[in-house]
Structure 1
Amino acid sequence: MLKNLLGMGHKKQQGPSAQEGLQKLRETEEMLTKKQEFLEGKIQKELESAKRNGKKNKRAALQALKRKKMYEKQLGQIDGTLSTIEFQREALENANTNTEVLKTMGVAAKAMKSAHQNMDIDKVDDLMSDIQEQQDLAQEISDAISRPVGFGQDVDEDELLAELEDLEQEELDRELLQVGGENLPSIPTAPLPSSKVKQREEDEDDLKELAAWGS
């Protein structure tokens, strides 16, 4: 009963939500903006009145300028209030955004926990081992299928390489012979000059004469 009398027995009233606070701030901004426009209109009218009565009625002109100053002061106060409200609204919007983000992260964390609830790390490791084993088996099967069979499997590759080297050497020797034959002088096929033929006939006559003299 004592707590109830002192107000301690009642639960603390919950404050307004972020959405409610933002709504109130926006309403206040709208109201102050309208008042700001109203004061700007009043200032313009007082200025025109002061100009109009500047020479005709100086007292009225001075009163108009005083009122203009008063309106300008109120306008400055409203400008400062709007700046404060804008800052507060942006801070509340950021706080509201952070709250929503935290709520989303909390829901995601609970969903992840629920998803992992029925998972056993040992079972996961066994499953991954089975998957790797099946992949290795599939690779072995692919290798076996792609391996050529039949002709050529019993041929020694070293013998084929040796035979290829012999063929290359023969081709090289043949090319060298062709090059050497092109450099040798060719046998002349044209008939000998007539002077050489005459000299040969004279030599034969001398031999005949010598043979006759000796006999």
Structure 2
Amino acid sequence: MFNRLFGKPKQEANALTTLDKLNETLEMLEKKEKVLVKKAAAEVEKAKEFAKGRNKRAAIQSLKRKRLYEQQIEQLGNFQLRIHDQMIMLEGAKATTETVDALRTGAAAMKAMQKATNMDDVDKTMDEINEQTENMKQIQEALSTPLGAAADFDEDEFEAELEELEGAELEEQLLQPATTAPAAPVQVPAGRQPARPIPQKRTAEEDELAALQAEMAL
């Protein structure tokens, strides 16, 4: 019982502690690697100086020390690779454990909800909702039913009366006289205008003829 309650937090704490320790070790190895790289580079410079001074033996010794530093650098690189691999595996395991715990918690919550929700209660609730919906429909239909004098009206009579009104309006529109467009002004070329134009009332055909003559004269 106590292992189930306190075992998982302890495991998570151990995983975090291990990751912190691995990070510290990785930082320490990286620092050592930087120091060795600087020492190897210094030995190369020494070998160059000895070679310029014709001191072959000292130059070779510097190159040997450089080779030893390079071997240590390679070894530290392998150590860092192992630690990186261990950290990746540990972080993956931690993520897997957290995912399983979350899924387990969700499944337990769903199971508890299912126990709390009885199917008989669901059916009873749905029956009550359907009953209330049907009652509301009946109330709405009762309120929309006409009462008093409006209940005796015949809808067919109103439709017939509406058709008569529409027919009378259409007949009135057909009997109205057609309106004619205002006559276009007659343009007469210079030299042909009468000295005293006599205003007279002309028909639409005469206006159209006069307009045509004016256009031909232009």
Rounded to whole Å, the distance in 2 between the matches of 1:58 and 1:148 is 123
How far 1:144 sits from its partner (Å)? Answer: 4.9
Letter in 1 for 2:123: D
1:29 to 22, 26, 45: 26
Provide structure 1 residue ranges, at least 5 long, that are not aligned to the other structure.
Answer: 1-14, 183-189, 191-215
The equivalent residue for 2:76 is 78
Rounded to whole Å, the distance in 2 between the matches of 1:107 and 1:181 is 88
Higher Cα Rg: structure 1 or 2?
1
1:63 to 61, 64, 81: 61
Any idea what SS the aligned residue of 1:76 has?
helix
Distance 1:119 1:61, change over 3 A: same
Q: Deviations over 1:17-51 (max 9, x none)?
A: 43344234223212211221121121122122223
Q: State, as a whole percentage, how many aligned pairs show the same letter.
A: 42
The equivalent residue for 1:122 is 120
Any idea what SS the aligned residue of 1:54 has?
helix
How far 1:169 sits from its partner (Å)? Answer: 0.9
TM superposition score normalised by structure 2:
0.64
* RMSD after superposition: 3.2
Letter in 1 for 2:38: G
Provide structure 2 residue ranges, at least 5 long, that are not aligned to the other structure.
Answer: 1-10, 181-200, 202-218
Instruction: Write out aligned runs for 1:6-17 (5 A).
Output: 17=14
Aligned length: 169
How far 1:58 sits from its partner (Å)? Answer: 2.5
How far 1:136 sits from its partner (Å)? Answer: 3.8
Greater length-normalized contact order (CA 8 Å, ≥ 6 residues apart)? 1
Rounded to whole Å, the distance in 1 between the matches of 2:147 and 2:64 is 111
Q: Which runs of 4+ in 1 moved over 4 A?
A: 142-153, 179-182
The equivalent residue for 1:38 is 35
Letter in 1 for 2:166: E
